[in-house]
């Protein structure tokens, strides 16, 4: 599911010379700990359009079959929810049980699009309180245009 990256507070990256996103931040449905990644658009496909496609069905002898079926059921439930409710239940912030650091500043004008590290050599994170976590989630829900 396309989701906001808590490190950058963005769910996509634009190319320097284009308005078309070249990377999307996604969170994976899974039975285990929540995970996320930045993927290129050609690595994404519509879940609804491919729901019954046999290529996306787990093989009967697949050791990941239970995890795949669990993730598929979560995704089926997610598509029935309004976007705000979907994000409240399945976003990275909603499912991550560990500490969440403060977002870093991103200089979108730099060619390499590396993050600034807040004037320190190392990117030091501080733990967010539950209210800060909630504020960040609400800000994303308010500004989200994901469907």
Model confidence at 127, in pLDDT bands (50, 70, 90)? very low
In a domain, 116, yes or no: yes
Per-residue pLDDT, averaged over 36-55, amounts to 91
* Whether pLDDT at 36 is above 60: yes
Structural domain harbouring 125: 12-143
Model confidence at 70, in pLDDT bands (50, 70, 90)? very high
In a domain, 100, yes or no: yes
Beta strands per DSSP E along the chain? 12-14, 21-28, 35-39
pLDDT at residue 116, as a whole number? 40
Report the distance separating Cα 34 and Cα 36, nearest Å: 7
* Whether pLDDT at 104 is above 90: no
Model confidence at 145, in pLDDT bands (50, 70, 90)? very low
In a domain, 7, yes or no: no
Task: Say how far residue 126 (Cα) sits from the centre of its chain.
Answer: 21
pLDDT at residue 11, as a whole number? 94
Report the distance separating Cα 26 and Cα 21, nearest Å: 13
In a domain, 2, yes or no: no
User: What is the domain count for the chain?
Assistant: 1
Per-residue pLDDT, averaged over 9-31, amounts to 91
In a domain, 119, yes or no: yes
β-bridge mates for residue 13, sequence order: 23
* Average pLDDT in the chain: 77
In a domain, 4, yes or no: no
In a domain, 1, yes or no: no
pLDDT at residue 142, as a whole number? 56
């Amino acid at each position: 599911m396309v989701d906001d990256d808590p490190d950058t507070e963005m769910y996509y990256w634009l190319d320097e010379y284009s308005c078309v996103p070249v990377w999307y931040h996604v969170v994976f449905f899974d039975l285990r700990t929540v995970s996320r990644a930045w993927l290129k658009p050609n690595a994404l496909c519509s879940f609804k359009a491919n729901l019954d496609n046999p290529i996306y069905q787990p093989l009967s002898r697949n050791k990941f079959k239970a995890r795949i079926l669990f993730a598929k059921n979560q995704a089926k439930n997610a598509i029935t929810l309004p976007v705000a409710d979907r994000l409240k239940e399945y976003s990275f912030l909603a499912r991550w049980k560990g500490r969440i650091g403060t977002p870093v500043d991103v200089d979108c004008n730099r060619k390499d699009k590396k993050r600034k590290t807040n004037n320190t050599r190392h990117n030091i994170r501080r733990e967010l309180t539950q209210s800060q976590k909630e504020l960040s989630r609400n800000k994303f829900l308010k500004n989200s245009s994901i469907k």
